[in-house]
Amino acid sequence: MIWRAFSIFAGQMEKENKFLVIAAAGSGNRLQADTPKQYLKINGKPVIVWAIRAFLPFIKTENIIVTVSRSHQDLWDGLKNDHGELRKVKSVYGGPERFHSVMAALKLVPDEAVVAIHDAARPLVNRETIRNCFRLAGIKGNAVPVANVQNSIRLLENGENKNLARKKLRTVQTPQVFKSSVIKKAYKTNYLDFFTDDASVIEHAGHKIHLCTGNDENIKITTITDLMLAEIILKDRAPSS
């Protein structure tokens, strides 16, 4: 009984130190849908809700910050009303690029914490990937989940193309997890075109990136086919995955 009480207390203390930023201010134009892709429903729940729910075993809802487009405020408010478990989730307005949105959200994260930054359009991340990222970031200071490249890759450059060795390549996923003091300092810079994710920002600040194993199905919803695939996977996924 005492051990169980201690375990619960330890788990609560661990959650206190973890924060989550959900990047959800994008327009999702490539999907060509009337509703931004993060608010489209899969099996009755919006994509962004699936993404947030994956983290609830690890993070308190009041430690979650979502970046929201000003033009999507009504969508976000309606979503919170429909999903009571998200009532304490905070939000900030996004900027012109993902970089500016994440920068705004990080202002709500304390310095002595560990923060995961995740794409709202990745509803298929599993608990093992999240656990791997938090564990490695706690040891090394950052963690970026990756997956093997399944297809042959060719580099197009100056009108020419050449094959790349796919065994040496990895696809990058989120959540990307960092000690908050380090990532907040890295974001105190001007935006550059090659800042496509948070790892590129922290690498630009001079830090080595540490990779961990992601899950292959942790795709970013971009097309109608992705939505259909996500529907199948989420329908068959066990609750603990």
Q: What pLDDT, in 10s, does the model give residues 117-146?
A: 999 999 999 999 999 999 999 999 999 999
| 201, two tokens | 């920002």
Categorize the per-residue pLDDT at 26 as very low, low, confident or very high, splitting at 50, 70 and 90.
confident
Q: Taking the model in full, what pTM does it have?
A: 0.91
* Strand, helix or coil for residue 192: coil
Contacts 24+ apart (CB under 8 A), 167-170: 170/146, 170/211
| Confidence class for position 9, pLDDT limits 50, 70, 90 | very low
β 64-68/18-24 pair status: parallel
**pLDDT tens-place string over residues 216-241:** 999 999 999 999 999 999 988 755 55
36 phi and psi, to 5 degrees?
-55, 140
Structure tokens at 147: 């997956």
Quick one: which of 21, 51, 53, 54 has its CA closest to 38? Answer: 51
Percent of the chain whose predicted confidence (pLDDT) is above 70: 91
What number is the average pLDDT over the span 96-103?
97
Report the pLDDT value the prediction gives residue 5, as an integer from 0 to 100. 40
Whether 96 contacts 121, CB under 8 Å = no
Which domains are seen in the chain, by residue range?
A: 2-236 (3.90.550.10)
